[in-house]
């Protein structure tokens, strides 16, 4: 057994210390925002709030959490994320499976077409016109359908399918299983790691998307959480000469505390979910790389 020399241990201390410092430094801004959301407005304004709340109050958080607009935005986000993820995983899986069967004709050209879309994009205006003419404006489907199949994720799944031993399927066929049975009872259960990973990627993409809602949704009651958050945080951004700020608006600005509280409350869902899914992220990124 190798014991560590003194220099090794010193290096350990140094590295750990540095990493700890970095981690703490990342934590500070978050703690600051958290403290501000739990502080009285006057304290936030006079810069008295550091890592700990001053003039502790729950009224900002309470206001945000009971605000109908916030709750509606949360509901919309959850809906889009859940439905979008399920739909995306389903269709991405369906697309990937045949492409992993090397004996089928025409696979190469189809793959080329898929990859082509990864490289070239129509841009904002053609996309907007397309959605408009499909009659999907002001419809949540416009957030889900265009991005339903992400080619990168599909290739990930395809690679995984290809790495499964052929003998599995062959033996199932010998036992008289139909194609559908093979997929449902053998392939899918075995592919759970890659499906979990891809679900996670999709879920994060759907949850954080604010650009497409901004573009396609005009109805205020359809605003998802990220867009809502963005609007609130930018509300007082006088530096970019926001055309919206006339004097009456300025007199009505949300106090600092409420804006910070909105940030915190909007982050909580993802904060709660992420620790449980973290290992899938890490595992998932390696999924396509190492061939056992």
Partner 1 sequence: MQVAKRWTVVLLLLVLAAATALAGCSGSGSNQKAGGASEGAAEGGSTQSGDEGGGSKPTLKILQTYAKHNYDTPVTDFLEQATGYKVQYDMLPQDNAQDKLNLIMSSGADYDLVKAGKQDYFRFALNGALTDLTPLIDKYGPNIKAAISQKSFDAVKVDGKIYAIPDLNTSYVGGGVMVRTDWLDKLGMKMPTTTDEFTAMLRAFKEKDPAGNGSQNIPFTISGATPLVDGLLGAFGLYNGWNPEDGKLVNRALDPGLKDYLTYMKSLYDEGLLDKEFATNKEETADQKFTSGRAGTEFVPWYKIPSLDEALKKNVPDAKYAYIPLMAGPNGEQGYGVGQGFDWYMIVPATAKHPEDAIKYINATLEPDTFKEMYIGKEGVDYKVENGEYLPIQPAFFDDRGYSSDYTMGRDEEHFQDYWQARLRKSDAMFEAFKQINDIDDNFKHPDVLGFSTFLPKLAQDSQKLDNMVIDYSVKAIVSGVTDSGLKDFQNQWLQAGGEAATKEVNDWYAQQQ
Residues that bind partner 1 (CB under 8 A): 40-43, 45-48, 66-69, 71-72, 75-76, 78-79, 82-83, 86, 124-125, 128-129, 132, 138-141, 184-185, 189, 214-215, 218-223, 227, 230-232, 234-235, 238-239, 241-244, 246-252, 254-256
Residue with tokens 């004709």: 105
What gap in Å lies between CA 56 and CA 47, rounded to an integer?
15
Q: At what angle do helices 256-287 and 192-208 cross, to 10 degrees?
A: 150
Residue 244 Cβ vs partner 1, minimum distance, rounded to whole Å? 5
Choice between 116 and 211, CB closer to partner 1: 211
Choice between 17 and 50, CB closer to partner 1: 50
Distances (CA, A) of 26 to 12, 23, 122, 240: 21, 5, 37, 27
- Take residue 166 and report the two structure tokens written for it: 């052929």
Residue 232 Cβ vs partner 1, minimum distance, rounded to whole Å? 7
Choice between 94 and 124, CB closer to partner 1: 124
Choice between 51 and 82, CB closer to partner 1: 82
Residue 218 Cβ vs partner 1, minimum distance, rounded to whole Å? 4
Q: Using an 8 Å Cβ cutoff, are 259 and 232 in contact?
A: yes
Residue 194 Cβ vs partner 1, minimum distance, rounded to whole Å? 15
Angle 148-150-151 from CA coordinates, rounded to 5°: 135
What gap in Å lies between CA 241 and CA 261, rounded to an integer?
25
Residue 99 Cβ vs partner 1, minimum distance, rounded to whole Å? 23
């Amino acid at each position: 057994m190798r014991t560590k020399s003194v220099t090794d241990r010193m290096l350990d201390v140094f590295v750990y210390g540095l990493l700890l410092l970095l981690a703490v430094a990342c934590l500070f801004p978050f703690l600051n925002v958290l403290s501000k959301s739990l502080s009285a407005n006057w304290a936030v304004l006079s810069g008295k709030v550091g890592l700990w709340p001053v003039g502790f109050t729950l009224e900002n958080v309470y206001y945000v959490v009971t605000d109908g607009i916030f709750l509606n935005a949360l509901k919309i986000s959850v809906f889009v994320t859940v439905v979008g993820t399920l739909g995306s995983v389903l269709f991405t899986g369906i697309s990937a499976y045949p492409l992993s069967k090397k004996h089928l004709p025409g696979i190469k050209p189809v793959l080329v077409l898929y990859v082509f879309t990864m490289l070239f994009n129509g841009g904002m205006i053609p996309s907007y016109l397309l959605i408009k003419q499909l009659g999907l404006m002001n419809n949540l489907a416009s957030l889900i359908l265009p991005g339903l199949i992400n080619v990168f994720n599909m290739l990930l799944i395809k690679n995984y399918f290809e790495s499964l031993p052929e003998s599995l399927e062959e033996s199932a066929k010998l036992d008289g299983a139909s194609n559908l049975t093979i997929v449902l009872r053998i392939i899918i259960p075995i592919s759970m790691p890659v499906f979990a990973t891809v679900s996670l990627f999709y879920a994060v993409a759907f949850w954080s998307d604010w650009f497409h809602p901004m573009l396609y949704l005009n109805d205020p009651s359809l605003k998802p959480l990220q867009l809502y958050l963005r609007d609130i945080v930018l509300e007082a951004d006088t530096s970019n000469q926001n055309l919206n700020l006339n004097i009456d608006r300025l007199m009505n600005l949300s106090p600092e505390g409420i804006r910070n509280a909105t940030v915190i409350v909007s982050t909580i869902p993802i904060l709660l979910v992420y620790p449980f899914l973290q290992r899938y992220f890490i595992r998932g990124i390696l999924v396509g790389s190492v061939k056992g």
